[in-house]
Structure formats: C-alpha cells, structure tokens
Homo-oligomer: A and B are copies of this chain.
C-alpha cells in the first residue's frame, strides 16, 4: 500500500464559500478507480502553516500511476488545484 498525502493552504479566505466549493470539488478524486480511504482533513499542528490535507491509499504504484493519469485528476489539477492552492506539500508513505 502507498499512502499519498498532500497538505495545502488555499488562496481563499478561511471559511469562505470559495473554500467550501474547492473542498467539495475534491470529492471527484475519491471516485477515481483505485483510490482507497480518501479523506479530507484539517491540518491542526501549529508547527506547520498548512490548513488542509487530502489522504488516500493505493494498492500499488500501478494504481497510483493510473490515478495520476486519470482525466478527472488531470482536470482537477488544471482547473482547481493550480489556480486555487497557495502552497502545498506532498508526502507519500509505504510501510517501513
């Protein structure tokens, strides 16, 4: 299993309608084949200045690659992520 996480802050003000719409739009990712355990999270450590996180799991690299290439993911990145995310950090994990 590969756990893919991305933590991010949006350009939109906290609590705004635009923020809510972005977070709802992200649900399209949960429906992409191979995506497991999709979660939308709030990042609450004061030690890192990022507001949200998405976390998901893939059975293997092939499933992860298929996700990255999926039209819904490509469109989300192009139409939502790039224009609306201020900064982000990706961390992917496998068992030790």
Residues of A in contact with B (beta carbons under 8 Å apart): 2-5, 7, 23, 39-45, 47-48, 50, 52-53, 55, 89-96
Contact = CB atoms under 8 A, between A and B. Distances in A.
Nearest to A2: B44
Interface of A is mostly: strand
A92 B45 contact: yes
A43 B89 CA distance: 13
B89 A48 contact: yes
Contacts of A93: 39, 41-44, 53, 55
Given A23-B96, A52-B96, A96-B52, A91 B43 contact: yes
A37 to B, nearest CB: 12
